[in-house]
Amino acid sequence: MTGPELLASLGQLLGAKIRERVEFRGETTFTILVGDLREVARFCRDELSFDYLLDITSVDNFGEEPRFEIVYELYSMTLAIHLRLKLRVSEDEGEVATVSDIWPTANWHEREIYDMMGLRFTGHPDLRRILMWDGYPYFPLRKEFPLEGLPSDMPDVAFSSAAPLEGGPFVTSPSTATTKDREPRARGPMDT
């Protein structure tokens, strides 16, 4: 079976698990229920040879319900086709089963979504922040998070004023020293 034939028959193979099918610019997107994710993901990997998880992203549809969408970008190396799975997650729910045991690359993607959007992945082996520090009380990619940011109680960790753009906050000096000795140091008064 060729890739396009598989995508054409995929709706029949997955049946009632598919809530919506969208074809746009040669790309296929299936919307499924949160509770069907693991079953559909395992079926896509084992039976349909979608052996590569390219990415997982999240969307905040602030003011709508369900508020969040999680989008899984799958690829089949053998058939050279893409498939997009989409879940709609309500703010009250806020939890989705992990697929990190199905596709190990999901581990970091799920951690990033948790860190930036606050969506939890049940069964994840190490669900902790990946970009923000532990104890950070906000989720920066949610739409209610202000573009100018929020004041930080940790001035040593976060900038309390705008960082200089010219030359950046770190510089290296040309030398014959090894990499260990040339690592960027904070610009001091003597470097100006």
Element (H, E) at 69: strand 68-76
User: In the structure encoding, which two tokens stand for residue 9, read together?
Assistant: 């028959």
CATH no. for residue 50? 3.30.460.80
pLDDT of amino acid 20: 87
Residue 139 lies in a domain: yes
pTM tops 0.85, yes or no: no
Residue 128 lies in a domain: yes
Structural domain including 60 reads 3-154
Residue 54 lies in a domain: yes
What's the pLDDT tens digit per position in 28-43? 899 999 999 999 999 9
pLDDT of 157 > 60? The answer is no
The CA distance from 141 to 147, in Å, is 10
Residue 86 lies in a domain: yes
pLDDT of amino acid 188: 47
pLDDT of amino acid 154: 60
pLDDT confidence tier of residue 152, bands split at 50, 70 and 90: low
Report, as an integer, the average pLDDT of 137-164.
Answer: 69
pLDDT confidence tier of residue 192, bands split at 50, 70 and 90: very low
Backbone φ and ψ for 60, nearest 5 degrees, come out as -105, 110
CB 43 within 8 A of CB 14: yes
Residue 162 lies in a domain: no
Counting the structural domains of the chain, the total is 1
The CA distance from 83 to 105, in Å, is 16
Residue 169 lies in a domain: no
The CA distance from 25 to 28, in Å, is 9
Report, as an integer, the average pLDDT of 99-123.
Answer: 96
The CA distance from 6 to 83, in Å, is 11
Report, as an integer, the average pLDDT of 33-61.
Answer: 93
What's the pLDDT tens digit per position in 75-108? 999 888 899 999 999 988 879 999 999 999 999 9
Kindly report which listed range (22-31, 109-118, 130-139, 159-168) carries the lowest average pLDDT score: 159-168
Residue 123 lies in a domain: yes
pLDDT of 48 > 90? The answer is no
- Mean pLDDT, the chain, as a whole number? 81
pLDDT of 166 > 60? The answer is no
Element (H, E) at 89: strand 81-89
**Residues counted in the chain:** 192
